Chain A
Amino acid sequence: MKDFDYLEPASIAEASEMMLAHPGGSVMAGGTALMLALRQRMVTPSHVISLRRIRDLRGITHTPAEGLRIGALALHAEVARSPLVRQHAPMLADMASRLANPQVRNQGTIGGNLCYGDPATDPPSCLLALNADVVLRSARGTRVLKVDQFATDYFATALEPGEIVSEIRIPPSAFDAGYHARFLRTAAEHRPLVNFAVSLRKQGDACEDVRMVIGASTRVPTRLRKAEDWMKGKTVTARLAAEVADLGASEIEPISDIRGDGSFRRDMARTACRRTIEDLFNPAGSAATSAA
């Protein structure tokens, strides 16, 4: 990698000023994504501005009124282990415990994950299903965005010059179940081909309310609004699960690349969606239990 100056601001304000003073600089959190880019010279920053000394970016807290607050520097492994996350957003902790591999989980941060904007990742869809807020701060002030406002395109985010992500907030919700399904093309893959995240409120066999998101196969995580509307208020049968999955799969615009072409991705999104709903409701006659 090319030479650069290394800076360690102690506060968000200082970091923001450094970023504005060095427009050719890069912010670094865990470095798992940035270091690869530096070594391949995909980016050649004049300065690397490390966030590691900024205490305000750390910690995981919870208040009944505001919900969970996860500092941007929280490692995937910390999210996975946190008793607070496990209690208040179990699907997020579960997702974080399965993401990537132990090395990446122990070094990569949730903030870095969002800020890189790589579609082939897991937290964005999960956080969108949890209706999370992304908090952006700079010397100029604070902005709060939803995940689908924050992630704007393939490797692109709403971050403006001098802005950093300070934390993620997960507001209290009336949902009582959920799951994040991480689907790999083969067992030897490192990245998800597609993922499906769902948060819902159950009433016996019925689904009262639901948020569903497809990620990793779309440029940005995509809410499945038609599928949500179709599912709300209905008793979940194997047939409904299949209908919801069909609708959901039709709502996405899948990307095509060497990991998988669009039609295969759509098929797998449909399967992941249907299987996840079936697993959550266990309706009679679902493919998992029946002799197809």
Chain B
Amino acid sequence: MNKPEISNAFTTVGRETPQINAIEKVLGKAVYSADMKMAGMLHAKVLRSPHAHARIVGVHTEEARALPGVHAVLTGDDTPTRMTGIHHKQHRILAAGKVRFIGEEVVAVVAEDEETARDAIDLIRVDYEPLPEVFDTGEALRAGTIEVHDGSGNLACEYNVVRGDVDAAFAQAALVHEDSYETHSQYAGYMEPMATLAWRTSDGRLHILTSTQTAFLQRMRIADAVEMPVSKVRVIQATVGGGFGGKTAEECNSLICAWLATRVDRPVKFVNSRLDDFQGCRSSPPEKIWIKMGVDKDGIIIAKEVKIVADCGAYEGLAGHVLQVSTVRSDNMHRYLKNVRLNGKLAYTNNPPHGALRGFGGPQAAFALNSHIAVMAEKLGLDVVEMLKRNAIKSGDTSVHGFQIGSSGLSECLDQVSDGIGWDSKKTRPKDIGVKRRGIGFGTAIHVSGNREMGNWDGSTVIAKMAPDGRVTLMTGECDMGQGAFTMLAQCCAHELNIPLSQVTVLPTDTDMSPYGHGSIASRVTILAGNAAIKAAREVRERLLTLASEKLGVPKEDLDMANGEVFAKSPAPNQKIPFGDLARLHIYRAGGEALQVTATYDPPTFLAMATPEQYGNVAPGYSFAAQAAEVEVDTETGQVRVLETFVSDDCGKALNPLAVHGQTCGAAVMGIGWALYEQMRYEDGRLLNGNFADYTMPTADSVPYIQSGIVESMEPNGPYGAKGASETAIVPGAAAIANAVYDAIGVRIKTLPITPEKILAGLRAKQAAQDASGASR
């Protein structure tokens, strides 16, 4: 499926195409979960734990129950005893027995309206017996310390991967360097806080309309937690106002709402306030990363040892997967690296739980790795871009962990970024010596497009239906959360059938009707669902041609299609028949049926996650990115201004350059926010800034004009050569900025975020060191 096989008048493939659902959003007509109203609908609110670790001794709900308008006040003891979670089933729908983080949901109220529910919450009293708490991962992993989960030793999971002969390689290395880095957690910061509406029908089925990236995973998890067969649970994807990994199957708004709807006789709506969302979300895991790297005299990376300790928070969720990615993925960028020793540990603490966030462990590793490489390049006297290029993995390579790189444009990304930002001239210009000093830095990234994990299936299914008027409707189990999945599917289908994009409708996932799909995670939708959509559309095309051939009496080879009609190329060029006629003919004949095709694409990949070696080709394609940032550091205030940034994304064929541009810029901004502006501030496990006044995401004022470029490496497994493009560009930014700061002022910030206070402290330390060495001379 490499090249577009038909080039036609109506194709939008490779052309800048506005999102097919953009108009309804800008007109305010898109229906989000919180917009939906049902007759008799009730409203839910939750009471959260004020303790990071405590036994629940008593819950007093009498007053709340007595409040007029209150329908139910439910506690952990009312929830099914069955545990819920991703790998480790670790908690009940509401906390029972003990709470493990501040913000954990303890009591739920269902009332006539939201204000009454809030009033009732204020009337609830919970007696806690505080337990000793543990917040630091180092402390958590110390033998004999306080346990978040009994018997766990606070070790949620551990990875050990050894390949080649690391010690021998270090012995041969021309330069070995080791250092430690720390990253902090990031909140998804989507515009729409989590919201869910759930109701039961008289047949006992449970219906859940929610903001989700993964409707089917939600169905599986909710059915399991509320102890219902999956067929009795229906999850409907509402319009999603951004997900960024935060709306997979970890957040608890949907789960609690769904369960509440099984406990009262009326529909229940639960809308997170922003504070609820901050407290109940899964932000990305903070990591402490130690790297030891050996390179030869030419800067070729030949040995690498990495130890990571990640903070899981109170429950594992997807944090184990995130750590796996941080531990192994970045190694696959370097083509000569054969000797690695990796250890990743995930520690439970009484911090709020961490989990999936755009980049999924990539940004953490890339920050450490790209910082580290910059240091080594400097020590070797090598230009870092040159060093990165020498090591860059190429199409056709198999990486140290068995990734089969069908396409890599990493080198091309590096070239594009260097040219775009003017690397050579900026690198060689005289250093600023005034109060404000400029510097420039680089970062690189690898990301997957798909990732074989669940059930040894990483497939995607698309159903294509042609209505009797010739229009096509596509159904998918993957979700559009604003990233443009539906537009991409419509483009593939319209291209294959040579019809205008407007002739294709893509339906949001409804687990009662849509084909199964894992959902929008791991940048998998373009490569997997895109292929499935092409396959489905080609089958529709085949059937249309077969029928038209019968009807017109023209051999199939002499037929073609355009603008919703099949026509004869020869011998009678004016013979044609509209799709609508063919669609009707497909039904209205003996033995006929509506024209509907189901097609599945499951890529030729390997379930490495399930093996201790973690070796094998996990994804049908790998995306790459490079980014350069030029900053100006104010040496008196510690402020860092990003003057310019250029990011290149190798996403294979850009099916929709406009969407890729949007994703790249958005991801780059998120990377800048993580590096410089955003910080979840905790005090003994309590989030101090759960609002957008104090958790400062980047604003238009605080980011430069983002320049972006696309490298089309043409992935053999990809639909028309495409790979994923939504996550890669969040990965390299923090390192690019940290490297630029170092270039500007000679201070290396190894602990994110890069704050004014850290810059000033670094400058003071540098000055003190200079003074000391001056004095000793």
Which residues in A have some Cβ–Cβ distance to B below 8 Å? 1-3, 40-41, 101, 183, 185-191, 258-261, 264, 267-268, 271, 287-288, 290-292
Contacts and interface: CB of A to CB of B under 8 A. Distances in A.
Interface residues of B, number: 32
B697 A188 contact: yes
Nearest to B636: A271
Nearest to A267: B760
A186 B435 contact: no
Contact of B694 (A186, A258, A267, A290): A258
Nearest to A272: B637
Given A41-B118, A190-B693, A185 B641 contact: no
A185 B756 contact: yes
Contacts of B641: 187
Contacts of A260: 757
Nearest to A264: B757
A287 B639 contact: no
Given A185-B756, A258-B681, A288-B435, A268 B698 contact: no
Contacts of A288: 435
A183 B635 CA distance: 15
Nearest to A287: B435
Interface string B742-760: 0000000000000111001
A271 B701 contact: no
A268 B696 CA distance: 19
B12 to A, nearest CB: 36
A186 to B, nearest CB: 5
Contacts of A287: 434-435, 636
A258 B689 CA distance: 8
Interface string B658-681: 000000000000000100111001
Contacts of A261: 757
Given A186-B755, A187-B699, 16 more contacts: A2-B115, A41-B118, A186-B639, A186-B640, A186-B677, A187-B639, A187-B641, A187-B701, A188-B676, A190-B693, A258-B689, A258-B694, A264-B760, A271-B636, A290-B434, A291-B433
B134 to A, nearest CB: 23
Contacts of B701: 187-188
Contacts of B702: 186-188
Which A-B residue pairs are the 10 nearest by beta carbons?
Answer: A187-B702, A188-B677, A188-B702, A188-B696, A271-B636, A258-B688, A258-B681, A188-B698, A291-B433, A186-B677
B172 to A, nearest CB: 44
Given A188-B699, A258-B689, A292 B639 contact: no
A260 B681 CA distance: 12
Contacts of B115: 1-3
Contacts of B435: 287-288, 292
B722 to A, nearest CB: 33
B32 to A, nearest CB: 19
Contacts of B755: 186
Contacts of A264: 756-757, 760
A288 B436 CA distance: 9
Nearest to B761: A264
Interface of B is mostly: loop
B341 to A, nearest CB: 38
Contacts of B434: 287, 290-292
Contacts of A290: 434
A292 to B, nearest CB: 6
A190 B696 contact: yes
Contacts of B119: 2
A1 B697 CA distance: 26
B757 A189 contact: no
Contact of A188 (B636, B673, B681, B757): B673
A189 B696 CA distance: 6
Given A2-B115, A258-B681, A264-B757, A191 B639 contact: no
Given A185-B756, A292-B433, A268 B637 contact: yes
A271 B637 CA distance: 8
Nearest to A183: B637
B676 A186 contact: yes
Contact of A191 (B635, B636, B693, B757): B693
Contacts of A185: 639, 756
A287 B437 CA distance: 13
26 contacts: A2-B119, A3-B115, A41-B118, A101-B699, A183-B637, A186-B639, A186-B677, A187-B639, A187-B677, A187-B701, A188-B677, A188-B696, A188-B697, A188-B698, A188-B701, A258-B681, A258-B688, A258-B689, A258-B694, A259-B694, A261-B757, A264-B760, A267-B760, A268-B637, A271-B637, A292-B433
Contacts of B757: 260-261, 264
Interface string B420-451: 00000000000001110000000000000000
Nearest to B642: A187
Nearest to A191: B693
Contacts of B756: 185-186, 264
A7 to B, nearest CB: 20
A258 B691 CA distance: 13
Nearest to B635: A292
Contacts of A188: 673, 676-678, 696-699, 701-702
A208 to B, nearest CB: 28
B438 to A, nearest CB: 14
Contacts of B676: 186, 188
A146 to B, nearest CB: 29
B677 to A, nearest CB: 4
A185 B118 CA distance: 35
Contact of A186 (B433, B635, B693, B696): B696
A261 to B, nearest CB: 8
Residue from the set B435, B640, B689, B698 with the largest chain A CB neighbour count within 10 Å = B435
Contacts of B433: 291-292
Nearest to A40: B275
A271 B688 CA distance: 28
Contacts of B693: 190-191
Nearest to B115: A2
A183 B702 CA distance: 14
Nearest to B681: A258
A28 B681 CA distance: 32
A271 B698 CA distance: 24
Nearest to A288: B435
A271 B635 CA distance: 11
Nearest to B641: A187
A238 B450 CA distance: 60
A264 B694 CA distance: 17
B273 to A, nearest CB: 8
A214 to B, nearest CB: 16
Interface in B47-78: none
A166 B131 CA distance: 53
B203 to A, nearest CB: 38
Contacts of A3: 115
Contacts of B697: 188
A2 B115 CA distance: 6
A287 B693 CA distance: 33
A189 B701 CA distance: 10
Contacts of A291: 433-434
A101 B699 CA distance: 11
Nearest to A185: B756
B323 to A, nearest CB: 28
A258 B681 CA distance: 8
A188 B678 CA distance: 9
Nearest to A290: B434
Contacts of A2: 115, 119
B523 to A, nearest CB: 27
A3 B640 CA distance: 45
A2 B693 CA distance: 23
Nearest to A190: B693
Nearest to B698: A188
Nearest to A271: B636
Residue from the set B673, B678, B689, B757 with the largest chain A CB neighbour count within 10 Å = B757
A268 B688 CA distance: 23
Contacts of B673: 188
